[in-house]
């Protein structure tokens, strides 16, 4: 299954919860790129500037990293995509790689998105996502699960956030019609509390 929705709509949080419940991998192309950047691989060096500025990596590179990830054994029983596809070209490529059973679009007001993104903190080890006000860690800036120091993503500043939201409208919004036409799309109001959103998603996917 896959999540659509602008940055900050809760795709990562919901995908992680579903992944734990279903025992299938949470595949985030953003995380895959960040891993490569941290390890300073040739791919990481190539995409670093694009990620920092909030632009989109080319479809060619993105589809390839996704294809490789979905080829690993743990994805045989299924997977949850977060942040892919982001363009019609990517959706088209995905349809040639595997079948999708559910597409869930998380909808949020712009005000909520900006508040969430600018207060977001992430764990570099387990990828758990926190928010300084609405989902704080027990000890400030320390992950509850593994004790790692939380960090603020470089692209979670107002300038990059505005760029990412504009790109979402231009490049990714058309995917609603794409998956809607296939009868796969369901909308969920993602502005609400995480527990409430998650319950609605569970009902939709019937788990």
Of the candidate residues 44, 48, 55, 115, the single one contacting ligand AMP (CB under 6 A):
55
Strands 2-4 and 103-107: parallel
Catalytic residue numbers read 11, 86, 120, 153, 164
Instruction: CB nearer to ligand AMP: give 116 or 164.
Output: 164
Taking the complex as a whole, the smallest distance from the CB of residue 135 to ligand AMP amounts, in Å, to 17
Q: What is the nearest approach in angstroms of ligand AMP to the Cβ of residue 132? A: 18
Indicate the residue among 92 and 138 with the shorter CB distance to ligand AMP: 92
For ligand AMP, how many residues bind (rule: CB under 6 A)?
19
Integer Cα distance of 193 and 82 in angstroms? 19
CA distance 201 to 188: 8
Contact, 106 vs 197, CB < 8 A?
yes
**Cis before residue 85, ω within 30 degrees of 0?**
yes
Q: Alpha helices of the chain — where are they, by DSSP H?
A: 11-22, 29-38, 42-53, 59-70, 88-97, 110-118, 158-167, 174-181, 194-205
Least spacing, CB of residue 90 vs ligand AMP, in Å: 6
- Give the span between the Cα atoms of 129 and 83, in whole angstroms: 15
Q: Which stretch binds ligand AMP (CB under 6 A): 15-23, 38-46, 83-91, 107-115?
A: 83-91
> With respect to ligand AMP, which residue has the nearer C-beta, 88 or 148?
88
Q: Which residues bind ligand AMP (CB under 6 A)?
A: 7, 28-30, 33, 50-51, 54-57, 62, 83-86, 90, 155, 164
């Amino acid at each position: 299954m896959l999540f659509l929705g602008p940055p900050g709509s809760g795709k990562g949080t919901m995908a992680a919860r579903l992944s734990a419940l279903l025992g299938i991998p949470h595949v985030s192309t953003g995380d895959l790129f960040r891993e490569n950047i941290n390890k300073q691989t040739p791919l990481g060096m190539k995409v670093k500037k694009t990620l920092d500025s909030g632009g989109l990596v080319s479809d060619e590179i993105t589809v390839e990293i996704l294809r490789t990830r979905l080829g690993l054994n743990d994805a045989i029983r299924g997977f949850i995509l977060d942040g892919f596809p982001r363009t019609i070209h990517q959706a088209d490529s995905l349809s040639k790689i595997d079948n999708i059973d559910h597409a869930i679009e998380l909808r949020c007001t712009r005000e909520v998105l900006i508040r969430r993104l600018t207060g977001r903190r992430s764990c570099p080890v387990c990828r758990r996502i926190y928010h300084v006000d609405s989902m704080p860690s027990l000890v400030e800036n320390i992950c509850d699960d593994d004790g790692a120091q939380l960090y603020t993503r470089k692209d979670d500043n107002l300038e990059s956030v505005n760029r990412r939201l504009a790109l979402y409208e231009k490049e990714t919004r058309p995917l609603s019609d794409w998956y809607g036409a296939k009868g796969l799309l369901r909308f969920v109001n993602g502005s609400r509390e995480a527990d409430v959103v998650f319950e609605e998603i569970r009902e939709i996917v019937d788990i």
